Structure 1
Amino acid sequence: MASPIPQIRIAQDETADRVLSEDPFALLVGMLLDQQYPMEHAFRGPAKVLERFGTLDPERIASAEPEAFADLCAMPPAVHRYGRSMAGRIQALAAVVRDEYHGRAETIWTEAADGADLLTRLRALPGFGDQKARIFAALVGKQLGVRPAGWQEAIGPYAEDGSYRSVADVVDEASLQKVREFKQAAKASAKAARAAKG
């Protein structure tokens, strides 16, 4: 009997969350879009692309005509505050998944040798810096059960059980609010530290 597909609930929208749960590339795109934009809206982006473009196949997205794909991403409601520029990043990400992972996004994490290798693979993706790579590694570890050797040591605080630091910890509306509060507190603390120095 096949094991049930883990249910992602980051977008807080039934259709968008189903897309994230069923399509690994969608989850990767949601993480890409999670910057300068509320996280639940970022993770609704892949469902919008699917609805408008008809597929989330990395091969098809990578080879789409850039202007037309940008128009599709910027169409209200846009996939992101910066819909046109993010469209280019989505296409760049799709090209890497197509060319380096045979179009199968999940192999980025399911075939990683260990935690350090997983981070190396994620950091190499377009639009993924060190922090985003750690958060996504924590997400697949906590919500998909993908925990290669040295997983927690490589990722650091984002891998801590019971924490509400990032999107990796969002499983319902209450946890989304806790993560939002954590981020607001971290921003306020950083602002106060800057002011104290200045």
Structure 2
Amino acid sequence: MDITVRITQQEEADALLSRSVLALLVGALLDRQIPSDQAFAAPATIARRLGCEDLDANRIAWHDPEHLAALFAARPAVHAYPAAMARRVQDLCRHLVTRHNGRAAAVWEGAATGRDLYRRINELPGFGRQKAQIFVALLGKQYGVQPDGWRAAAGPYGEDGTFRSVADINGLESLEKVRAHRQQERRAAKNTAPGHGT
């Protein structure tokens, strides 16, 4: 099935996300403390710096860690915390190699239910509850991975017609709506933080 995503609004990056589910996983892993579109554009940058067209789990898993960290840190850095994120991406790829023969799609292939799908994603290094829910929503809404109960397993991110996360980005307009939602969430969290207004 041909997939076309428009998460980053960058042709090269979105093309890679459309054909490589490993790139999708890496983008999701990096989607922390930086804008989602920047995180999901990073796999294309990483592939380019590794000198390859697509990401390869085996190549990243056994790459020299110091060199990989340097590739992440080269300007412009792929993340605000390049060394830490290089380690996390390498841990993810090693998990895929040792548990799934290097095939990212094997993580969710054959998932019988949404709960099973969520469990498989949640077991990945660097994927906590919220990130796993968002990824289940992303797979369901944009990649056609929809076992029974996937929306429930994705929590609020699985709801239709919302703009909560990267799962809902399919163009510039939806990207702006997701950005606005995240800004609103940050303001709400700041307003409820201990000591606010004292």
Give the TM bin, normalised by the shorter chain.
over 0.9
Q: Find the aligned partners of 1:19 and 1:86 in 2 and give their Cα distance.
A: 20
- Could you tell me how far 1:16 is from its partner in structure 2? 0.6
**Would you say 1:78 and 2:77 are equivalent positions?**
yes
Cα root mean square deviation, aligned: 1.5
Moved more, 154-163 or 183-192: 183-192
3-state secondary structure, aligned to 1:84: helix
Q: Percent identity?
A: 48
Specify the alignment match of 1:14 in structure 2.
11
- Could you tell me how far 1:100 is from its partner in structure 2? 0.8
Deviations 1:4-56 (A, max 9, x none): x2111111100011011111100000000000011111111100111011341
Residue 26 of structure 1, aligned match among 2, 23, 27: 23
Whichever residue aligns with residue 94 of structure 2, its letter is A
Q: Find the aligned partners of 2:189 and 2:70 in 1 and give their Cα distance.
A: 37
Q: Find the aligned partners of 1:99 and 1:158 in 2 and give their Cα distance.
A: 30
- Could you tell me how far 1:152 is from its partner in structure 2? 1.3
Specify the alignment match of 2:164 in structure 1.
165
Q: TM-score, normalised by structure 2?
A: 0.94
Q: Find the aligned partners of 1:84 and 1:111 in 2 and give their Cα distance.
A: 34
Task: Give the unaligned 5+ runs of structure 1.
Answer: none
**Would you say 1:116 and 2:115 are equivalent positions?**
yes
Deviations 1:79-125 (A, max 9, x none): 11111111111100001111111111012122222111111111111
3-state secondary structure, aligned to 1:106: helix
Moved more, 109-118 or 92-101: 109-118
Specify the alignment match of 2:41 in structure 1.
44
- Could you tell me how far 1:128 is from its partner in structure 2? 0.7
Deviations 1:131-186 (A, max 9, x none): 00000110010001111111112221100110000010000011000011111112
Task: Give the unaligned 5+ runs of structure 2.
Answer: none
3-state secondary structure, aligned to 1:21: helix
Q: Find the aligned partners of 2:128 and 2:177 in 1 and give their Cα distance.
A: 24
**Would you say 1:131 and 2:127 are equivalent positions?**
no
Whichever residue aligns with residue 23 of structure 1, its letter is S
**1:80-99 alignment, distance < 5 Å:** 80-99=79-98
Q: Find the aligned partners of 2:186 and 2:66 in 1 and give their Cα distance.
A: 36
3-state secondary structure, aligned to 2:101: coil
Q: TM-score, normalised by structure 1?
A: 0.94
Q: Find the aligned partners of 2:186 and 2:73 in 1 and give their Cα distance.
A: 29
